[in-house]
Amino acid sequence: MNVVIRADEQAVTRSAYEFVRDRLAHRGYRVLGLPTGGTPLRLYGALVAGYRRGEVDFAEVHTFNLDEYLGLSPDHPQSYRHFMEENLFSQVNLRPEKVHFLSGLPADIEAECEHYERAIKELGGIALQILGIGRDGHIGFNEPTSSLASRTRDKTLTRETVEDNRRFFAREEDVPRWALTMGVGTILEAREVLLLATGRAKANAVAAMVEGPVTAMCTASALQMHPRVTVIVDEAAAAKLDRDEYYRWMSEHDAKMGEYIEERRRRFGRKPST
Mind telling me the catalytic residues? Answer: 67, 136, 138, 143
Distance (Å, whole) CA 64 – CA 80:
12
DSSP state letters, 24-79: HHTS---EEEE--SHHHHHHHHHHHHHHHTTS---TT-EEEESEEETT--TTSTTS
* Dihedral of the alpha carbons of 196, 201, 207, 212, in degrees to the nearest 10: -110
Distance (Å, whole) CA 143 – CA 155:
8
* Euclidean distance between the first and the last CA atom of the chain, given in angstroms as a whole number: 18
Distance (Å, whole) CA 92 – CA 6:
27
Distance (Å, whole) CA 88 – CA 14:
17
Determine phi and psi for 160, rounding to 5 degrees.
-65, -45
Distance (Å, whole) CA 163 – CA 130:
24
- Greatest distance between any 2 Cα atoms in the chain: 63
